[in-house]
Amino acid sequence: MTPLAHYLIFSGILFSIGLAGVIIRKNIIVVFMCLEMMLSAANISLVAFSRAQGVNGIPMYDAQVLALFIVAIAAAEVAIGLALIVAMFRARKSVESSALNTLKD
């Protein structure tokens, strides 16, 4: 059986890639995909922990319940996010983060 650490390292790498993408990438759609990657990383950790904490082969379902909630909320977030990005494209004719420049000190 694959040890817990492998899952955790994998999810840590996925999370770091997501976070780095959010910070580095300029295209809002790509940034948004990276945000979803961060949530998926958390889901992988949750399911791995739920297996590892289980007794007698029965996982602790608490963590899987949270994972389901995360999936549902991520879907809602995508619906709102894409709507906002479409509105932004209509207003600015661009989805680059450099187009977000009207509000500043």
Partner 1 sequence: MDTTLSSYTWCQFAPEFALVAVAVIILLADSFLPQIPKRIYALVGAAGAFVITCLMARGEYANWFGFLACAATTLTLLLAYDYRKITCESIAGSENEDGTAEFYALPLIACAGICCLGQAKDLVMLFVSLEVITLSSYVLAGYFRRNQGSIEAGVKYLILGAMSTGLLVFGAAWYFGTTGSFDLDPLMAHTALSHGYLSTGFLMATALLLAGALFKVGAAPMHMWIPDVYQGAPTPTSNFLAIASKAAGFAALCLLLRPFRPFAEAYPGTVSILVHSLSIVAAATLLIGNLGAIGQHNAKRLLGYSSIGQAGFILIFFVNLGGDIEPYVFNYLLAYALATAAAFFAIAMLRTQRGSEEISAFRGLGKTNPRTAFLITVSFASLAGVPLTMGFLAKYYSFCALIQAMGSWNGLLWLLPVMIVCAAAGFYYYFKVLRAMYWEKPLESDKPLRVPAVTAAVLTACSIVIILMGTYPLLFS
Q: How many residues bind partner 1 (CB under 8 A)?
A: 47
Closest CA to 39 of 81, 62, 12, 71: 71
When asked if residue 102 is in the footprint of partner 1 (CB under 8 A), the reply is: yes
70's tokens: 């995360």
Closest CA to 97 of 4, 31, 12: 31
Any idea of the CA torsion for 8, 9, 13, 14, to the nearest 10 degrees?
-30
When asked if residue 51 is in the footprint of partner 1 (CB under 8 A), the reply is: no
| Shortest distance, position 57 Cβ to partner 1, whole Å | 14
Q: Which residues bind partner 1 (CB under 8 A)?
A: 8, 11, 15, 18-19, 22, 28, 31-32, 35, 38-39, 41-43, 45-46, 49-50, 52-53, 60-63, 65-66, 69-70, 73, 76-77, 80-81, 84-85, 87-88, 90-92, 97, 100, 102-105
